Structure 1
Amino acid sequence: MECVSCTRGLDHCHGTLIVHTTEFVECTELLCENHDDTRHLAIVDCSAVDGGCDCVSVLDVEIEERHQHDNVA
């Protein structure tokens, strides 16, 4: 079975686009150079990646620090 987008000659990627909380994006397809979301059928948040993602922990710390700062002021 062939990919419909391949058959039609459409610009697309077979990888999964991973969107991080830092707004950084990456693709599971090693040769993918264009991380535009319109090229990817599968888009996931980095927290959904097996094993988690370090940037989710960093965001949690930043939120806690802001909360502590707001309570001091």
Structure 2
Amino acid sequence: MECPHCVADLDHCHGTLIVHTDEVVECSEPGCRDFDRVRHTFVVTCEEIDGDCHCTASLVEEYAQAS
């Protein structure tokens, strides 16, 4: 089975784009350098894949201090 985007010669990435709560993004595909959302079929937040991400822990701490 071939990727239809590869066959059509479209600029895309096979990795998953991970969006952190501080809007920093990273890709699961080694070597990916273009983190535009439209290049990635799969886009998730860090909370969806790992509840212990440093950015979500920071938000919980900020919320606790504000209360």
Corresponding residue of 1:70: none
- Pairwise CA distance, 1:46: 0.2
- Pairwise CA distance, 1:58: 0.8
- Pairwise CA distance, 1:4: 0.2
RMSD: 1.2
Corresponding residue of 1:32: 32
What SS class does the counterpart of residue 47 from structure 2 fall into? helix
What SS class does the counterpart of residue 22 from structure 1 fall into? coil
Work out the number of aligned pairs and report it. Answer: 67
> Identity over the aligned pairs, expressed in percent?
49
Partner AA of 1:59 in structure 2: L
CA shift in 2, pair 1:50/1:66, >3 Å: closer
Give structure 1 regions of 4+ aligned residues with deviation exceeding 4 angstroms. Answer: none
Corresponding residue of 1:15: 15
Structure 1 stretches lacking a partner, 5+ long: 68-73
- Pairwise CA distance, 1:16: 0.1
Identify the range of structure 1 (44-53 vs 20-29) with the bigger mean alpha-carbon deviation: 44-53
Which protein is bigger by CA-based radius of gyration? 1
C-alpha distance in 1 between matches for 2:10 and 2:66 = 45
C-alpha distance in 2 between matches for 1:20 and 1:9 = 30
